[in-house]
Amino acid sequence: MIPFNRPPYTGNEDQYVLASIRSDKISGDGFYSRQCEQWFQAKLPCKKALLTPSCTHALELAALLLELKPGDEVILPSYTFVSTANAFVLRGAVPVFVDIDPATMNINPDAILPAITDKTRAIVVVHYAGGACDMDRIMKIAERHQLSVVEDAAQAMLSTYKGKALGTFGDFGALSFHETKNFTSAGEGGLLIINRESLIDRAEIIREKGTNRSRFFRGMVDKYTWVDVGSSYLPGDVQAAYLWGQLEDADKIAASRMRCWQRYERQLGMLEQEGYADLPRFTSESNHNAHCFYIKLRDPESRAGLITYLKNAGVLSVFHYVPLHSSEAGKKFGRFHGEDRYTTRESERLLRLPLFYSLTDEQIDYISEKVRDFFSSENKKNQ
């Protein structure tokens, strides 16, 4: 069976994980955590990068820093993972879902403006499949209405918009190092990117249980104490050590994924040309990171047919997301503003094919052949 995902692993990770285990400090903010954070600060670049146990936690930390009050509203796409909404619902905020652009599956900027009320506090965008949202327009709307912007860049590490890294446009960006992402910190992990200088100090405090421990370690205070609300939003250093192994091989991992993505595109381009299916689309300003390769079929029935066809051929394919506004919790905590013209329709057509670091050319060719076979057998049936 060709799995849908295999966690990225280059062999570089072992030495750092072992070194971390054998060191005297394996709790958070140790040697490897610092190495990783400095790497992001220089590479993206960004003002401050803080490792978190997951992207979910990074989003929660952002929501805490925005000081949202019950009843405040945040505007976000319905086509996203639950954490994009949950982080704000935990603060009592109301998620106001809006429609997507069917080409990119990203939030439609035209849908944001009519959803703004006097309770709106933030716009939360998701860079789906590592493709950039229209950040120029979104930042302009946010500025005009004095709204904060949070970028859920869970899938978008090292993607850019007009040459600038995703996650570095809004007040905050959040990355994921879950095992299904391009880079992983041993299964789970995340990063909060802080682009507003004035929020950095408080972010460090909230992340360290509401204490000024980070300032203490930097020698800025002579004892540390409880100074604010907080929680524990820092991962252990062994996880960071695993991630460090991957960051040292970042170019290799990124190139391998892009090779896979482009091979799929070459092998399956004819499906789009012949009108059988749509392939991923990105705007010309967006440089994507080959996070996922999907195809969009005619309807949910043909998608179910292809999933079964591939499964019988030994290939696992998956779909996501069930639009949040149609979920039990989405109905309870939030609302959809405007017309759901594309969110439900497009989400029901989308199917993701296996794409991971160690996927071989032969496997891609085999999967592509099976996908093409499915469409030609469907075509024959309909004749």
Ligand X SMILES: Cc1ncc(COP(=O)(O)O)c(C=O)c1O
Q: Which residues of this protein are in contact with ligand X, per CB under 6 A?
A: 54-56, 80-81, 83-84, 126, 152, 154-155, 176, 178, 190
Tell me whether residue 86 or residue 267 sits nearer to ligand X (CB atom).
86
Residue with Cβ nearer ligand X (111 or 154): 154
- List Cα–Cα distances, 118 to 85, 99, 148, 213, 279, in angstroms: 20, 20, 14, 37, 39
Q: How far apart are CA 251 and CA 175, in angstroms?
A: 18
Contact 222, 202 (CB under 8 A): no
Q: Least distance from C-beta 291 to ligand X, angstroms?
A: 9
- Report the C-alpha gap between 383 and 379 in whole angstroms: 6
- Minimum distance, C-beta of residue 175 to ligand X, in the bound complex (Å): 8
Tokens representing 132?
Answer: 């950039």
Nearest distance in Å: CB 46, ligand X: 18
Helix axes 31-43, 237-248, angle to 10 degrees: 40
To ligand X, the closest distance from the beta carbon of 251 in angstroms equals 23
Nearer to ligand X, 54 or 211 (CB): 54
To ligand X, the closest distance from the beta carbon of 188 in angstroms equals: 6
- d(C-alpha 78, C-alpha 76), whole Å: 7
Nearer CB in complex with ligand X: 84/212: 84
The whole-angstrom separation of Cα 78 and Cα 346 is 12
Nearer to ligand X, 189 or 371 (CB): 189
Q: How far is the CB of 176 from ligand X (least distance, A)?
A: 3
Find the shortest distance in angstroms from Cβ 58 to ligand X: 8
The answer to whether the beta carbons of residues 91 and 63 sit under 8 Å apart is: yes
Question: In the sheet where 164-165 sits, what is the strand order?
Answer: 164-165, 160-161, 286-287
State which residue, 105 or 271, has the beta carbon closest to ligand X.
105
Taking residue 369's Cβ as centre, other Cβ atoms within 10 Å add up to: 12
Q: Which of 137, 202, 214, 167 is nearest to 59 (CA)?
A: 167
Residue 13 or 60: the one with the smaller Cβ distance to ligand X is 60
